[in-house]
Structure 1
Amino acid sequence: MEENWRGFAECSYLLEDEFNWYLRLAAFERFARFNTEVLQKCRPQITAIILIYGDILFGWLGNRDYLYREFSKILCNVIFESLQEEPRPLGPALGLRGEQI
């Protein structure tokens, strides 16, 4: 698995502010669209824990006003409502096969 991420980790663009800004927007939009589609198709969604991690990496809450201007209210609410949920305590079994994240 590490080999699959090597190109991304070694990418010099990661040090550029503009690249990071567009990566932030693209990740937000993709996660929001995926979770919107999930609601319509009754599939598992990207969980609040993963979205919280995305917010830590990309600072979505700190750019909430911009994101609401850039994307629809429906897309933004899918992410921001999940970020407002009370996170589950992280137990030692989190992420093990069969354990819900």
Structure 2
Amino acid sequence: MKRRELRYEEACKKDLKFLSKVDRTIITDVKAAVDILLDYELLPDEYKDHPLQRLYSGYNDFHVRDPEKGEKPDDKNDVVIYKLQNSGKKLLLVRVGSHLKLFHDQYSSK
């Protein structure tokens, strides 16, 4: 079966470039999960793939790194926001980063 086409939002490219300077292993972790999605497979439960709401309604995210049970997300808990397009034939990577940066900074006062 043919793989999904992979596309990146410009913000995602910047996120990946930044993260590669901070911790190169995150790139390997993201690539492993993306490869699963490109093959039309479901991510294993450990990734906690789920649909998003509000600002990102229509998008999904999966967790590359998670806090330990009972801990709150911090800047080391990385998620990938993505969207399937064209009847699932295209995978658009939107953002990659810490849960705090991607979901909580958007509400901080300017």
TM, length-normalised to structure 2: 0.25
Structure richer in strand, relative to its length: 2
Structure richer in helix, relative to its length: 1
Query: Which of structures 1 and 2 has the bigger CA Rg?
Result: 1
